[in-house]
Amino acid sequence: MSEPPAQVDIVTSLTGAFPALEALPTAIVYPALMLVGAVIATLFVSLFGLFAIWLERKVMAHIQCRLGPMEVGRHGWLQTLADGLKLLAKEDLIPKDADKALFILAPIISFTGAFMLYVVIPFGRDVIAADLNVGLLYLAAVGSVEVVGIIMSGWSSNSKWSLFGSMRAAAQVVSYELPLGLSLLPVILLAGSLSTRDICEAQAGWFWNWFLFANPFMPILVVIYVISSIAEVKRAPFDLPEAESELVSGFHTEYSGMRFSIFFLAEYAALFGVSAIASLAFLGGYHTGIPAIDGIGGFLGGLVGVATMIVKSLCFVFLQMWLRFTLPRIRLDQMFHVCYKVLLPFAFVALVGVAVWQSVLPDRSLWFLPR
Amino acid sequence: MTELETPLLRDTAAAESGDVKTEEMILNMGPQHPSTHGVLRVVVRTDGEIVLDCEPHLGFLHRCFEKIAESVNYTQVTPYTDRMDYLMSMGNNLGYCVAVEKLVGEPVPDRAWHIRTIVVELDRIASHLIAIGTYGLDAGALTPFFYALRDREKILRIFEEICGQRLNYNYVRIGGVAYDLPEGVESRILEFCDYFEPKVDEWDRLLTYNGIFIKRVANVGVLPVPLAIDWGVTGPCLRGSGVKRDLRKKPGYGIYDKFDFDVPVGRGEMGTVGDCWDRYIVRVREIRESLKIIRQAVKSLPAGDHLAAWAKRRIRPPKGDAYTKIENARGELGFYIVSDGTDKPFRVKTRGPSFCNIAILPEISRGCMIADLIVIIGSIDIVVGETDR
Amino acid sequence: MDTSQVFAAIRERFGGAIVEENTTNRDPFVKVAPASLHDVMAFLRDDPRFRCDLLSLVSGVDYGDDLGVVYHAESTSLGHVVVVKADLPRAKAEVATVSDLWSAANWHEREAFDLVGITFTGHPNLVRILTAEDWVGHPLRKDYQFPTEYHGIVCEFEGIHDGTWAEHTGEQLG
C-alpha cells in the first residue's frame, strides 16, 4: 500500500466540492460547514429513526404472523411520523419528587452519546464528518456516554423500578464494552491504523479483502462483536434494563411524550451506529467489493459508497431485529456469565490468534488462500 | 387508603428500627403490572435483585359472585360463573352445573356429556395456549404469544359457531348444554385437531427447548410435593411436581372413563422435579392429551337429547348441601352449594384453584431474583377473576 | 372407607363431641362441637385409616340464626373425602384455626373471617383478604348492610337505581 491518503473531513470535502468557499475567511467557513455537517447527520439520524421504527414494526409483525401498520400511508410507512407527531403533542410530565434537572438532562445526554458515534463513521470515501486518527478509540470512548444518561434517568425518576432498570443498564453496558473493544482490536492489527477511514481503505479491492475473510479467527470475532453490540444497545435478548414484562419500562418508565421519543431515537441511533461499525470493521465499509464499481469517481461514486454502507448496516440492523423477536430474555447473572466467562476468553484467544497469524502468515487469508 | 401493617412490613420496620442498617427495599409490583396476570398486587422485599420475601394481596377483582348467587335462581347463576375464570368458562359452567346436578340427583343425557367433554377440552386447550403464550412473554419471548392467539382464534370460532359467544359462553347448563351442536361443526372440530397437532411441535422448537428459555425457567421455583399438598395446590402445578393426580381419571367423573388419555407429570427433565419448566411442559403435553380426548369424543358422539327433561323446568333442589370438584385448566375447581329447598341457592362457595395455588408464592420464591419471581408467577398460571371471584 | 366406617371411627374417638351425624345428605357429614373441632381435624389428618392430607375447602356459612364452618378434607392416597361441620353462635363466632395442620387453611380462613365474620383463634395473620383492609361489616352475612359511603365515596342511598345519582351526589354530568 502506498502512503496513507490525506485526512478528510466534512470541511475539506465541502470546500473541495465548492471551491468558492475557500475565498471566505476560515473563521466563518469552518464553523458554518461544521454546522452543516451536524445538521446533515441529525437529519440522517432522524430519518433513519423514522425508517427503522417502521421496519421494526413490520419485521415484528411478519415474524408474529400478522401485518403491522397498514393504515397510515401505503403499508403504514407514515405511521412513525404520525406517532412522532402524537408524542410531540403529549403533556410534558415530570414526577413531583423527581430530580428535575437530571430528569430533563438525561435523555439529552443519552441521545448525544449515541449521536456522537456518527462523527467518525465514513459513509463514503470523502463523506465523513471528521476523520480522526484515533477513530476507533473515540468510538469506544463515546459509546459509554449513553450509559451516563441512562443512570441519570433511572435515578432522577425517583422510582424503584426505574432505578432497577438503570442499575441493570449500567452493569450490562459497561460489562459488554470489554468484549466489544476486544473484538475490534484485531481489526486495528489488520488495518495498521485506528482511523475508521483507513480501516475501510485497507479493505479496498475485491470482496475477499474484507476483514471478515482475513483469517479463521475473524468470523469468531464477528460473532462476538454482534453479541456484544446487541448488549450495548440493550436489545433482546439483552433487554433487561427495559424488561417490559418485569420492570414495566425500566429506566424510561416515567418518561412520556417528547422526552421518551428522544430516548427512543437514541436507541435507534445507537443501533445504526453499532451496525455501521460492524460493516466498516468487518465488511469493507463503503467498498462494494467489486473494483470496477468502486472505481467510479465523483458524485456518483460517492453516492454508491453511501448506499453500500447503508445497505450493509441495514443487514446487521435486520439481524438484530430478527433476534429480538425470536429469543427470550436473558437473566442478569446469566448475562454476566456470557460476558465474562464465554465472550471474553474467546475474544482473547481470537486476538492472540490474529496477532500470531499476522506475524506468521501475513499474506494468507481465510482458508489459507493467498491475499 | 392507609397502608395497614402486613407481616412483611412489620418485619422490615423492626429490622430498620434496630442498629443494623439493612439495604432492603420494599417493592410494590402493583395491581397494574404487565406480568402479574391480572390485578394482583405483590409486595416484595428485596436485597438488590434477590427476593427475600413476598406477599400477594388479593381483592382487586372481587365482584361478590357468592353474594349475587344468593339472590338469583339456579339457572341465572351460570352466567356469573363464566366470569370467574374467564379463560376457561366452559369449565366453570361445568363445575357449577355438576354441583347442582349432584344436589338434584337426576341424570344427564349421554349426548350432553359428550358435548360437554368436547367443549371443556377445547376450552382447556384455549386456556393452556394463553398460559404458555403469556409465559413466553414473561420470559421475554415476544413471538410465541401471537402464535398462541392465532391458534386460539380457531377454537373461538368453533365456540362462536356452537353457542354464539367467544369468551363467556354460558353454554354448559344444569342438566346438559344450552343448544345442540350445529350441523357440520364436528367435522370442523376434527379439522382443527388435525391442523393444530403439528403446531404443538412448533412450540417445542420455538420455546420449549430454547436454550435461553430453559436457562430462565429450569431449577427456578421448585415446589416439593409435601409443601404442595399441605397448601392445597392442585392441577398442573401439582402434576409438575411429579404427583399423578387428575380428577378426570377418577371413576364416575363424567364419561372420561370411556376415553383413552394419559396424565403428563413433571419428571425433572431439564432441572429439578417441580421447577417452572416442569409445570410448563405439563401444560404443553396436556394440550396433546386433550386433542386425543376431543377426537374420541367426536367420533363416539351418540344421538339423543342435549338437555335433560327435568332441567327444562325451574330448578328446585331438595334441602341439603353438596360439594363437587372438576379438573379445570388451573387445578381443581370446587363448588359447595347449600340449598334451602327454594329456587335460589342459599349459599354458593367456590374453591378457585388459582386462589389456593397463588398462596404458595412466598414459599417457593424466597431467594430467587426478581426476574425469577415473574417467571414463577407465570408458571403458577393464575387468573385473578378466580382468585378474587 | 365408606361413610358408616368413617362415622364409626370418629364416634369411637370423639363420641361426646358429635352433635349430628347426617347420612341422608348428598354429602354425608358429621357435625361436632366447636371446642373439639381442632382435635377432630388433627385426628383426620394423622390417623392412618383417614390420612386426610389435602384440605380442599373451608367455608363459612350464615344459616340465618347461627353461623357455621364446613371443612372438606380429602386423602390423596386413600381417595375419600370427609365433611366436618361446626355451628357457631352468632354472638361469639369463634373456632380454633386448623392452619397449623394444613397451610391451605390459612387463606380459606381469612376469607371466612372477611366475608362471614368467623374468628379463627390462633391464626397467624387474620386480616381481610378479599375486601379492603379497613372495610366495615361482613358481606356474606344475611343481615349485612351495605355501607352508605366509603372514604368519601357515596356507595348506597335510597333510590340508587332510579336515575337520580347525579342530583344526589352533586356531580355535573356533561
For residues B198 and B105, give the distance between their C-alpha atoms in angstroms, rounded to a whole number.
42
Which of residues 132 through 191 in chain A touch B, CB cutoff 8 A?
160-161, 164
Is residue B234 located within the same domain as residue B199? yes
**What end-to-end distance do the CA atoms of chain B give, in Å?**
22
Q: Does A326 score more than 60 pLDDT?
A: yes
Number of domains in chain B: 2
| pLDDT (mean) for A292-321 | 85
Give me the interface pTM, i.e. the ipTM: 0.89
For residues B362 and B343, give the distance between their C-alpha atoms in angstroms, rounded to a whole number.
42
Number of domains in chain C: 1
CATH number of domain containing B369: 1.10.645.10
Q: Is residue C13 part of a domain?
A: yes
Q: Does A12 score more than 80 pLDDT?
A: no
Judged by 3 or more CB pairs under 8 A, whether B touches A is yes
Query: What pLDDT score was predicted for residue C18?
Result: 85
For residues A327 and B213, give the distance between their C-alpha atoms in angstroms, rounded to a whole number.
8
Is residue B28 located within the same domain as residue B75? no
Query: What pLDDT score was predicted for residue A1?
Result: 38
The region of weakest confidence among A295-299, B29-33, C163-167 is C163-167
Contact criterion met (CB below 8 Å) for A22 and A15: yes
> Residues of chain A with pLDDT > 90: what percent?
19
More confident residue, A179 or A360: A179
Among the partner-chain residues B33, B212, B213, the one whose CB lies closest to the CB of A248 is B33
| pLDDT (mean) for A275-283 | 91
Query: What pLDDT score was predicted for residue B7?
Result: 61
Query: What pLDDT score was predicted for residue C168?
Result: 61
Q: Which domain holds residue C80?
A: 3-128
Mean residue pLDDT across chain A: 84
Query: What pLDDT score was predicted for residue A2?
Result: 41
Q: Does the reported pTM lie above 0.90?
A: no
Enumerate the residues of chain B whose CB falls inside 8 A of the CB of residue C53.
229-230
Enumerate the residues of chain B whose CB falls inside 8 A of the CB of residue C134.
1-2, 4
Of A51, A44, A77, A45, the C-alpha closest to A318 is A51
For B271-288, the pLDDT digits (tens) are 889 999 999 999 999 999
Query: What pLDDT score was predicted for residue B36?
Result: 64
| pLDDT (mean) for C46-68 | 89
| pLDDT (mean) for C63-88 | 90
Of B223, B216, B217, the C-alpha closest to B360 is B223
Q: Could you tell me the pLDDT band of residue A237, with boundaries at 50, 70 and 90?
A: confident
Q: Could you tell me the pLDDT band of residue A77, with boundaries at 50, 70 and 90?
A: confident
Query: What pLDDT score was predicted for residue B198?
Result: 92
Query: What pLDDT score was predicted for residue A3?
Result: 45
Contact criterion met (CB below 8 Å) for A154 and A315: no
For A51-75, the pLDDT digits (tens) are 999 999 999 999 998 898 888 888 8
User: Which residues, at least 6 apart from A62, have a Cβ–Cβ distance to it below 8 Å?
Assistant: A68
Q: Does A369 score more than 80 pLDDT?
A: no
Is residue B53 located within the same domain as residue B85? no
Whether chain C has a CB inside 8 Å of the CB on B239: the answer is: no
CATH number of domain containing C82: 3.30.460.80
Contact criterion met (CB below 8 Å) for B151 and B128: no
Q: Does B93 score more than 60 pLDDT?
A: yes
Query: What pLDDT score was predicted for residue A157?
Result: 83
Judged by 3 or more CB pairs under 8 A, whether C touches A is no
C-alpha cell of residue B364: 417457593
3-state secondary structure labels for all residues of A19-40: HHHHHCCHHHHHHHHHHHHHHH
Q: Does B46 score more than 90 pLDDT?
A: no
For B174-198, the pLDDT digits (tens) are 999 999 999 889 999 999 999 999 9
Q: Which domain holds residue B33?
A: 3-57
Of B216, B9, B337, C78, the C-alpha closest to A236 is B216
Residue A27, exposed/middle/buried by CB under 10 A (0-12, 13-18, 19+)?
A: exposed
Query: What pLDDT score was predicted for residue A206?
Result: 80
Q: Is residue C134 part of a domain?
A: no
- With CB atoms and an 8 Å threshold, state whether C104 touches B59: no
For B113-148, the pLDDT digits (tens) are 999 999 999 999 999 999 999 998 888 888 889 999
Element (H, E) at B282: helix B276-299
- With CB atoms and an 8 Å threshold, state whether C107 touches B359: yes
Query: What pLDDT score was predicted for residue B2?
Result: 39
Whether chain C has a CB inside 8 Å of the CB on B275: the answer is: no
Using the structure block, give the residue that is written with the C-alpha cell 499474506.
Answer: A363
Q: Could you tell me the pLDDT band of residue C13, with boundaries at 50, 70 and 90?
A: confident
For B319-335, the pLDDT digits (tens) are 999 999 999 999 999 99
| pLDDT (mean) for B340-366 | 92
Q: How far is B230 from chain A (nearest CA, A)?
A: 30
Mean residue pLDDT across chain C: 86
Query: What pLDDT score was predicted for residue B318?
Result: 92
Q: Does A128 score more than 90 pLDDT?
A: no
Of B259, B152, B134, the C-alpha closest to B196 is B152
Query: CA B299: distance to chain centroid?
Result: 27
Is residue B89 located within the same domain as residue B52? no
More confident residue, C150 or B18: C150
Output the DSSP codes for B360-383: GHHHHHTT-BHHHHHHHHHHH---
For A82-91, the pLDDT digits (tens) are 988 888 888 8
Residue B18, exposed/middle/buried by CB under 10 A (0-12, 13-18, 19+)?
A: exposed
Enumerate the residues of chain B whose CB falls inside 8 A of the CB of residue A324.
142
Query: What pLDDT score was predicted for residue A4?
Result: 46
